[in-house]
Amino acid sequence: MRRTSNSNRIRNFLCTAVVAALTACGGGSDQETSIVVSLGMSDAVPGVSSDLLGETPVWDAVNKRLLRSDIYRATIFAYDPASQLESVVYSGYPAYGMLLNSDSKLIVMGPQGMHHLDPATGLTQIIANNGSFFFNEAVADSRGRIYAGNVIVVPQPDGTFSFGRGNLYLIDTNGCPRIVDGPGKIFDTTDGLIASAGIGLSNGLGISPDNGTLYFADSLDRTIYKYDIRASDGTLANRKVFATIPRSIGIPDGLTVDTNGDVWVAVYYGDRVIHFDTQGKVVESIMLPAFQVSNVVFGGTALNDLYITSASQVVPFPVLEPPSGFPRPNAVPGGQLFRLSAKVNGRIEYPAQIDPGHLVSSCPTP
């Protein structure tokens, strides 16, 4: 195939025309042929209830269980692979993002803000929702600080909504947030100084095994970005496009990073998980019998079970421009928790290190 230019428009056009059903485009790379792995309903995890919007899966290595949230049921579930039994961890909180904390409790975030959650005693507020935005996905670094993006919903006169340009935050262990990417933020990159346009719809986050790179999915921009992490203070530098997902395929949602540093991205509206190598080239596409694929994480005792969440409730968001013909006739939206035995191993995510008893009462303005 003739090499293309660096134009996103041309690259996306070529991807759409040649392999719309199979692959995505890496950031700035030529089209790559990838392996295709197909899962069926028999790969759905037994003993798990159907999720309206399954999200933010977390592998709890200490208790050998998978945690996940059903946002629309405002319930956090635990699944024990050994017994194949599901249990309710907490009900009454729609967790858009969730992390294990160093005290074996949880950090959860959603429309109510960011909270420390002890299922036995309840919620302790870390950051309040100011009414204009909510936090979505999050990930902790090796020092227990949390990267989390906000989502700004702007109601429209016709009853629909759009998204404002938001920020990517670093929340220190004392609970104070700092903006590390947002509108007007200047990044000194290898291509020169670049001003950020901010975050369209914050989604999946992951950190490389060497702790030097942050990956971040912006669903509205259909782009996975990568940043260099300054370990000393957690600030970000050298923002680049890692990979893009054409509209003909879907939108990038949750993601995870394996021990090789490869990135696995759930594609909402797109019935797949795409596995990228460290250069943003497609290695394989995991095709699923559900088109609302929301998130992904490695789990199991060897960390080689790839768990994939999905959603049964169809909520088309016109502002996100679902693929043409969505939802497809006779297609299954989702709701299942799928599991794939992978040929690589995942990593145990770092826990957050938030001490709810030592939060700062007044933080500097981010």
Give a yes or no: residue 30 inside a domain.
yes
Q: How far apart are CA 54 and CA 294, in angstroms?
A: 7
Give a yes or no: residue 192 inside a domain.
yes
Instruction: Give residue 150's identity as a one-letter amino acid code.
Output: N
| Matching residue, tokens 């690589």 | 344
Give a yes or no: residue 340 inside a domain.
yes
Which residues form the domain of 189? Answer: 24-357
| One-character DSSP codes across 242-270 | EEE--TTT-EEEEEEE-TTS-EEEEEETT
For residue 14, what pLDDT is reported? 28
Q: How far apart are CA 15 and CA 30, in angstroms?
A: 9
Q: How far apart are CA 303 and CA 287, in angstroms?
A: 21
For residue 155, what pLDDT is reported? 83
Q: Taking the mean position of all CA atoms in its chain, how far away is CA 186?
A: 24
User: Is there a contact between 333 and 290 (Cβ–Cβ < 8 Å)?
Assistant: yes
Q: Tokens in use for 72?
A: 């629309």
CATH code of 125's domain: 2.120.10.30
Q: Give this prediction's pTM.
A: 0.89
- pLDDT < 50 positions in the chain: 1-25, 27-32
For residue 315, what pLDDT is reported? 75
For residue 5, what pLDDT is reported? 38
Looking at the structure of the chain, the number of domains it has is 1
Give a yes or no: residue 363 inside a domain.
no
Q: How many CB atoms lie within 10 A of CB 63?
A: 12
For residue 1, what pLDDT is reported? 35
Q: How many CB atoms lie within 10 A of CB 230?
A: 12
User: Is there a contact between 300 and 268 (Cβ–Cβ < 8 Å)?
Assistant: no
Give a yes or no: residue 106 inside a domain.
yes
Which letter, b or e, does each residue of 274-284 get, where b requires 16 or more Cβ atoms within 10 Å of its Cβ?
A: bbbbeebbbbb
For residue 23, what pLDDT is reported? 37
User: Rounded to the nearest 5°, which phi and psi values hold at 189?
Assistant: -110, 175
Nearest to 149 by CA among 138, 161, 140: 138
